[in-house]
Amino acid sequence: MSQIRYDPADVPPGRTRRLLCLRRDRRRSDRRGPGWNRASLAADSFSASNGGEPFAGDGRLLTTISPTGDGLRDGATIGFTLNESATATLEVRRSQPPASIVFAQTRRLLAGPNAFRWAPSDTAAPGTYLVRVLLRDAGGNRRVYDVQQVHGRRTSGTPVVRVLGIDASFTRESQPPGCRVPARRDRHALAHTRDLSIRAGADAQLP
């Protein structure tokens, strides 16, 4: 602990309180340990990959997966770099209502490149999922990283993961409303889905 000695007679009026505050601040800094810095904990270089060929529109902060269990683009790998060791929690949240956390995993990570993997089951609802990363270091300092809401292509923040729904094609050119039509499912589509929309023409959508 730092020791400060002074003769009150040598301290001008109004300066004593400032000197005592300095001594108290130094004691608090000593208790936090050497190298303590609240702003030091950080992560950067966030990225996402489906482990295969990217879909249209995919990039460093956007990846599309089709969790059918066929081994092709079944999950998303979320990567980032830490500047020091920390306990990290990865959360995946559905953006469409009802918005909720569908996946969470906590691990102790070392400084340097790290990665989490989210591989949902084939019953995962199609849609957009947002990634959040929460960090806590040995000194108790915390950082939270979220998806950046911006217009256009994002260049910072955490990634977004798109989960594909079912894709269908029809063996006939057209059918009248209300009739049954034969369809075949794309081999990359979900085995089970609750969401299927059929479009007739450019604008109409049938239930």
Instruction: Please write the tens of the pLDDT for every residue from 21-45.
Output: 434 444 443 344 444 445 599 999 9
pLDDT of residue 31: 44
Residue 204 scores a pLDDT above 80: no
Is the backbone peptide bond immediately before 98 cis, with ω within 30 degrees of 0? yes
Q: Find the range with the poorest average confidence among 49-58, 99-108, 119-128, 180-189.
A: 180-189
Answering whether pTM is above 0.75, one says no
Mean pLDDT on 128-153: 93
pLDDT of residue 168: 55
Write out the E strands in 95-197.
Answer: 101-109, 112-118, 127-136, 142-145, 160-163, 168-170, 183-185
Contact between residue 75 and residue 103 where contact means Cβ atoms under 8 Å apart = no
DSSP 8: G
- Closest Cα to residue 105, out of 125, 132, 81? 132
* Model confidence pLDDT, tens digit, residues 142-182: 999 999 987 778 889 999 999 997 655 555 556 666 666 66
Residues whose CB is less than 8 angstroms from the CB of residue 111 and which lie 6 or more positions away in sequence, other chains included: 82, 83, 84, 85
The amino acid occupying position 87 is T
pLDDT of residue 176: 66
pLDDT of residue 90: 98
Question: Confidence class of residue 131 from pLDDT cuts 50, 70 and 90?
Answer: very high
pLDDT of residue 64: 98
Start-to-end Cα distance in the chain: 73
Mean pLDDT on 136-140: 96
Q: What is the rounded average pLDDT for all residues in the chain?
A: 77
